[in-house]
Chain A
């Protein structure tokens, strides 16, 4: 079923194009992404390739990618308030995060895996390597996942994460953020990014957000409060849309004749 859904999303496959390469992706615009080497974010210094990337035209290896099915996802996987609750619910501000996964042509990306992880309300991660002094919340795991629906829509419930310090400069703090991993329908769309919260004063000091050279691009990672979608007397809601690379053929799909 999920394969069928993605099949309908893969445009441009015709008997004349058995490779489906009419559906190749628009070249990634590297100017909106951070460069590999960003010395203010010190860890990047030794982990950044220094030789320019080799540009590849898409082959089947890039336009294809893993397909996930609903039966791999548990019923509580998109509810971080309940998915690790042991003897109560986690401490913190209850929120819903929702939005659409779109491609650059503005179409929803259906049935794609969206994964998210975050610190607890005190800024502490449930991770063997996190030594921050804020306490672990016994009822909070801090991760979840979901599949987008036919329109590319997703939603999950969680606790608003806290800010936390990290060893970069002596006073480097991360603004509140949620990490996101998204697949799309081809492996060339694979993306990991972070969502920030509207109005966070730490954001303008954040060396990670500032690895992105264009301040307008950073704004697209800031989720606005979506008060109309709040659950009265229960949860606030933030809206976060994610845009993946578009497919080239869709630029021409309204043409009267073929490409």
Chain B
């Protein structure tokens, strides 16, 4: 017998609005208020793994860069483990100097967002599924976006793992999978993954209902 439990309904989402920076990244709004701020730098000196930079723009349906978007990322560490108790992959270490979460806003002038992080390892899949290729979970909120948008970033130099990935593989038509692949570049010895997100229109990015 399934007992009847109190069942509430989720609070409805509302747009983050044009001034989301005040609450979540006040420095970008033009002032400082908190002693400790969250940022787009996920790594410290002790963090284990290959240092990478993620960089891109978020384009609206007219192809123009949206310059006021809140971007958050959530990812596993270099060994492929999330720093969270629901991740019980005991064979992989937790990196105490890597939370795996960062936040930024697209630049008011250039429209660029960037993160300084490490390349995540592969994470185990659902029961009976293959391991997931290394990926970064992305979440967007902004003026004109009524409910936070979820997507994933995969890596262009992981073609073999990507071809086996249980999420990429369900996306049809398969050409749309390309919208989730960040392009690896090397600039003056730095590894940069370029990942543009298209909110709408030609080559619209795949967004997930998670």
Contact = CB atoms under 8 A, between A and B. Distances in A.
Interface of A: 3, 6-7, 10, 13, 17-21, 23, 28-30, 32-36, 38, 41, 43-51, 53-67, 72-74, 77, 83-84, 102-106, 115-117, 119, 125-130, 141-143, 145, 179, 181, 185-188, 190-194, 208-209, 211-212, 214, 217-218, 220-221, 242-246, 250-252, 254-255
B147 A33 contact: yes
B65 to A, nearest CB: 12
A103 B8 CA distance: 7
Contacts of B13: 33-34, 191-193
A53 B161 CA distance: 23
Given A45-B61, A47-B61, A105-B7, A193 B12 contact: yes
Interface string B75-114: 0100000111111111000000001110000001000000
Q: Is the interface of A mostly helix, strand, loop or mixed?
A: loop
A50 B11 contact: no
B86 A186 contact: yes
Contacts of B89: 18-19, 60
B29 A30 contact: no
B144 A43 contact: yes
Given A115-B23, A127-B29, A51 B14 contact: no
B21 A19 contact: no
Contacts of A242: 11
A91 to B, nearest CB: 18
Contact of A34 (B9, B126, B146): B146
10 contacts: A19-B87, A46-B62, A60-B124, A63-B86, A66-B100, A125-B19, A243-B9, A243-B10, A245-B10, A254-B5
B9 to A, nearest CB: 6
Nearest to B32: A141
A35 to B, nearest CB: 7
A60 B81 CA distance: 9
A47 B19 contact: no
A20 B87 contact: yes
